């Protein structure tokens, strides 16, 4: 009798386990068929909920990017960044029409209507990031559009067209945003230039480095973020970095770096083995605090025609002391290098700066001034006479590369792309100039210079009220 009962109980147990296993298996199978769902259950304004539900449908890539961001984790929504006052000059009138469409369901009604602006500005970001925006506003990045209008002959001499400027110069340096027919003027948008002039009076775009809508600190810490603009013949910082020992280590071990460390905690030797652009110029390191002012830590203006201290750069004088800033950069270097290495590196850089200034730039500038004084070339239009173009190319291309290559430890750029090419351009410039002086002959003027149609003065920087 007991045996029969035991067998019966054992049979029931096996049946129960089998049923549970089948139930679990079926549940597992059902889970495999489910699609990933994003369900918003946190408290937020109804307008924000409408934004999320609409863009989830209309722009799934945009929505997914935001959903994986720290903003989403902190319950920061589209509405927090894009909301505006109805009286703001950059309010999108077109967006209002979205609430009148019949295919929007409950969220397409006027109950959820909210004034928004397409262009999110540093002023908008300052609601949560006031220190970063303040620092950024003091930098060359934020002021770079004004800066190039002061020093760039392509712009202030009108030697290129508006089409060429919009597709090239302004894409990195920024446009002056304006509205047209209730939308952002397509001649000024899309644009995330670091020196963009926004309609709320702020300068720049945080999404130049922290691409929307993920706004990743990891992305901004990688050199590729800077390489979007800092590349090419006139400022090849990304190529220079790639050639350097720092870039070599990043290429070899970068996948092991902890780029997602919380702001203010990214530590050399712990989170990364070699610095990126951000590590040297922005991130906190040792006793040096994090900054969004990339003008800090610089002791020379290496992109200027004549190398000067940052405070002496007339187009954008820095309000700092170069020795204090150099010591900040040295403190960053000392996290991985010894004093002797760091001091000798700066000795080499200072020697290169002096050689470029004294041997190449100064005599070439003196010759150019002589040609103007003798009326052998004219100042009416820059680049329409060869000596002007040759002088420009001397400092703007190899002259910059020689200095920047030295500063960032890239010997090929310091010599072959730098001083070597300086010699070739310098010799040609001097030979041609001496011939003009010897024969008192005016330089050939390119009367058919193409597309010299751009404005010679920057337009208004704020939208009229």
Cβ atoms 190, 167 nearer than 8 A: no
Neighbours of 149 (CB within 10 A): 16
**Tens-place pLDDT, residues 263-293:** 889 999 999 999 999 999 999 999 999 999 9
Q: Please report the domains of the chain, with CATH numbers, ordered by start residue.
A: 46-118 (no CATH), 121-215 (no CATH), 295-450 (1.20.850.10)
Fill in the DSSP letter of residue 419: I
pLDDT at 36: 60
CA atoms 213, 214, 216, 218: torsion sign: negative
More confident residue, 34 or 408: 408
pLDDT at 41: 58
Fill in the DSSP letter of residue 407: H
Q: Report which of 195, 186, 222 is spatially closest to residue 121, judged by C-alpha positions.
A: 195
Q: Please, what's the largest Cα pairwise distance for the chain?
A: 130
- Ranges of H-type helices in 188-337: 217-221, 223-227, 237-243, 245-253, 277-281, 322-333
Q: In 199-320, which ranges are E strands? A: none
CA-CA distance, 117 to 198, in Å (whole number)? 11
* Average of per-residue pLDDT across 243-262: 97
CA-CA distance, 285 to 301, in Å (whole number)? 23
* Residue in this structure with the two tokens 């890239």, named with its chain if needed: 410
Fill in the DSSP letter of residue 418: I
266: CB partners within 8 A, 6+ apart: 221, 258, 259, 272, 279, 283, 284
CA distances from 403 to 202, 341, 357, 395 (A): 32, 19, 10, 10
As beta bridge partners, residue 62 has none
> pTM (2 decimals)?
0.86
Q: Report which of 230, 225, 228 is spatially closest to residue 240, judged by C-alpha positions.
A: 230
CA-CA distance, 229 to 171, in Å (whole number)? 9
Fill in the DSSP letter of residue 264: T
CA-CA distance, 295 to 281, in Å (whole number)? 8
Cβ atoms 196, 145 nearer than 8 A: yes
pLDDT band at 97 (very low <50, low <70, confident <90, very high): confident
**Tens-place pLDDT, residues 21-68:** 444 555 444 555 556 666 655 678 889 988 998 889 889 999 999 999
CA atoms 136, 139, 143, 144: torsion sign: negative
Q: Taking CA 288 as the corner, what is the angle to CA 301 and CA 252, rounded to the nearest 5 degrees?
A: 80
Q: Report which of 294, 287, 318 is spatially closest to residue 135, judged by C-alpha positions.
A: 294
* Residue in this structure with the two tokens 């609430």, named with its chain if needed: 99
**Tens-place pLDDT, residues 338-364:** 999 999 999 999 999 999 999 999 999
CA-CA distance, 448 to 114, in Å (whole number)? 52
pLDDT at 258: 98
Report phi then psi at 456, rounded to 5: -100, 0
Cβ atoms 350, 358 nearer than 8 A: no
Q: Is the pLDDT of residue 72 over 50?
A: yes
pLDDT band at 98 (very low <50, low <70, confident <90, very high): confident
94-98, 187-191, 198-202, 256-260: least confidently modelled range: 94-98
């Amino acid at each position: 009798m007991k045996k029969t009962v035991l067998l019966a109980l054992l049979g029931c147990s096996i049946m129960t386990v089998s049923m549970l296993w089948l139930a679990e298996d079926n549940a597992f199978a059902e889970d495999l068929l489910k699609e990933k769902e994003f369900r918003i259950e946190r408290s937020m304004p109804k307008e924000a909920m409408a934004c999320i539900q609409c863009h989830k449908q209309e722009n799934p890539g945009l929505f997914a990017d935001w959903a994986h961001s720290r903003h989403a984790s902190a319950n920061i929504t589209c509405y927090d960044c894009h909301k505006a006052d109805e009286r703001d000059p950059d309010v999108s009138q077109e967006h209002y029409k979205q609430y009148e469409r019949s295919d929007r369901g409950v969220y397409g009604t006027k109950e959820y209507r909210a004034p928004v602006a397409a262009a999110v500005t540093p002023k908008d970001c300052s609601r949560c990031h006031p220190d970063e925006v303040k620092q950024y506003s003091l930098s060359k990045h934020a002021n770079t559009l004004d800066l190039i209008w002061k020093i760039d002959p392509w712009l202030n001499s009108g030697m290129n067209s508006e089409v060429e400027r919009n597709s090239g110069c302004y894409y990195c340096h920024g446009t002056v945003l304006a509205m047209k027919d209730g939308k952002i003027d397509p001649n000024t948008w899309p644009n995330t230039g670091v020196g963009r002039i926004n309609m709320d009076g702020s300068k720049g775009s945080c999404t130049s480095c922290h691409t929307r809508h993920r706004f990743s600190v990891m992305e901004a810490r990688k050199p590729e973020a800077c390489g979007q603009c800092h590349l090419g013949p006139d400022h090849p910082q990304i190529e220079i970095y790639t050639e350097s020992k720092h870039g070599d280590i990043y290429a070899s071990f970068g996948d092991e770096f902890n780029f997602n460390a919380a702001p203010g905690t990214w530590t050399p030797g712990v989170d990364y083995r070699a610095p990126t652009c951000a590590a040297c110029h922005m991130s906190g390191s040792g006793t040096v605090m994090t900054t969004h002012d990339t003008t800090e830590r610089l002791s020379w203006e290496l992109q200027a025609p004549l190398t000067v201290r940052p405070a002496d750069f007339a187009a954008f004088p820095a309000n700092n002391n170069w020795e204090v800033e150099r010591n900040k950069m040295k403190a960053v270097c000392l996290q991985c290098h010894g004093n002797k290495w760091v001091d000798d590196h700066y000795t080499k850089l200072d020697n290169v700066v002096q050689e470029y200034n004294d041997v190449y730039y100064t005599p070439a500038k003196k010759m150019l001034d002589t040609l103007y004084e003798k009326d052998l070339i004219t100042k009416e239009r820059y680049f329409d006479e060869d000596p002007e173009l040759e002088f420009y190319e001397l400092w703007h291309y190899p002259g910059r590369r020689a200095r920047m290559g030295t500063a960032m430890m890239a010997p090929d750029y310091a010599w072959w792309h730098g001083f070597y090419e300086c010699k070739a351009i310098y010799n040609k410039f001097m030979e041609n100039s001496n011939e003009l002086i010897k024969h008192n002959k005016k330089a050939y003027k390119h009367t058919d210079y193409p597309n010299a149609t751009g404005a010679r003065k920057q337009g208004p920087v704020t939208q009229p009220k």
